[in-house]
Structure 1
């Protein structure tokens, strides 16, 4: 089963979450998780990391879709 997710945040915590997703693929019967992209109000956060998935823009400009799951990956 494939699960499509959008990660909210594109900084260091989002990078860790993304790495966990990559490392969990195919393990212990976990569903395959496909990262559709990253949402962050600061595009420079996204540019600081080498993500495979695209930058989708800011949170205020995003329309929530029921076809995706969302992972909150914001740390203070």
Structure 2
């Protein structure tokens, strides 16, 4: 079986956007359910708002320590990030 691999498919895989959905949609859902803004989550997790925003947008991947802080702030398992 021949597998067709294109630049766009590799790029989407690396960015986590297969199926048109960001890899971090679930993070935004948890934030919205907690009725928090980016700033609110960042304050609870003791990180900068810009760092949190980059994580939610899939631009950055949190360290284990930061993942644990965000997960605690939003009440889910930190392992979900990885």
- Judging by fraction of residues, say which structure has more strand: 1
Higher relative contact order (CA 8 A, sep 6+): 1
Fold conserved between structures, TM > 0.5 = no
- Computing the radius of gyration over CA atoms, which structure comes out larger, 1 or 2? 2
- Judging by fraction of residues, say which structure has more helix: 2
Place the TM-score, normalised by the shorter chain, in its bin: under 0.3
